[in-house]
Each structure stands twice: as C-alpha cells, then as structure tokens.
Copies of this chain bind each other. A is one copy, B any other.
Amino acid sequence: MEFNFFEGSTDFINNLRKGNALLITKSDDKVNAMQIGWGYMGYMWRKPSIVVAVRHSRYSYELLRNSEAFVVSMPVNDELKEAVKICGSNSGRDVNKIEKCGFVTEKGKIIDVPYIKGCLNYECRIMYKQTIDSELIDEELHNLSYKDNDYHVMFYGEIVAVHNN
C-alpha cells in the first residue's frame, strides 16, 4: 500500500497551530513528549517531510541532538487532546510525561522512537538540522521569540511512515 503522506495535511497544520500535537523524542532509554505549536510540512530534497522547531533549553533538544529520528503524534479524541496539555506544562526533566498522561506507546514501525496509540502518528528520520541564526532574524521576531537568546533548532525530518492506530 502506498501511503499519501500529505493526506490530511490541512489537519496537520491546523492541529499544529492549535497545539494539538506532540513531539516524541528518544535517546538511549529516555523518552519524552513535548507539546508543539510551530513547524512545517512539505517536500524538500525529494522527500515528504516535517520541520519541527525545538529550543536549545528544552529537554527534547537534549534527546534529539543524540538521535536520528522523531515522531509527531496528533491526538484524535478528546481524552488524548486534554492529556496533551499536561505535556505543555511540565518538563520531561522532572516528570515522565508519557506515564503522567497515561499514554500507551508502541515501538515505532520504522524508526527507533515510540509512537502514541490513538494518535495520528508521523514517523520521521532526521535529514537536516540548523539553528535559527540571531544575526539573520529581524527585530520584531527577535523580540517576540528570542529575547533570552534561547534559539530554535529546525529539525527537518523525512516522513517515513504515517499511521493511525
């Protein structure tokens, strides 16, 4: 079966914008889930792909920098949507958010990062990453987002699997 990677991409972007999205990261035996609201979906280097933005200060960044993959999970029922908010208000350094939220995870089908059951899951292989450059950002955006110099790293992930189960 050939999957249309972009089926539902309207939902992807609108879910993202509403913060109804989780970034799942893994390094060694540590797994974290972070609520995300910013990012992109598209096509680059002949790969259907997702770009996620993660600040240097985040626990997810610690895990991602040693990793080759990530998952974006989008809850499709109200119970899971509520649970996402818990992930937005705690750090994975202090709390095992996967457990706290009651998420049931499964081993990734293609990559070595788990996904959350009951979500629409995008498994992504990191193909490129680049930090937002303070010298290139205009003043409005700098004041909005980077007054504390906590810059985002843009992680470009090839979508290697999409599933909803």
Contact = CB atoms under 8 A, between A and B. Distances in A.
Interface of A: 6-10, 12-14, 16-17, 37-46, 48-49, 51, 53, 127-130, 132-133, 136-138, 140-141, 144-145
Nearest to A158: B141
Contact of A9 (B10, B49, B141): B10
The interface residues of chain A, by DSSP majority, are classed as: mixed
Contacts of A38: 42-45
A72 to B, nearest CB: 12
A37 B43 contact: yes
A53 B47 CA distance: 14
B43 A17 contact: yes
Nearest to A44: B38
The interface centre, meaning the residue of A38, A127, A140, A144 with most chain B CB atoms within 10 A of its CB, is A38
Contacts of A39: 42-44
16 contacts: A6-B10, A7-B10, A9-B9, A9-B41, A13-B41, A38-B44, A38-B45, A40-B40, A40-B41, A42-B51, A44-B53, A45-B141, A127-B138, A127-B140, A128-B141, A130-B130
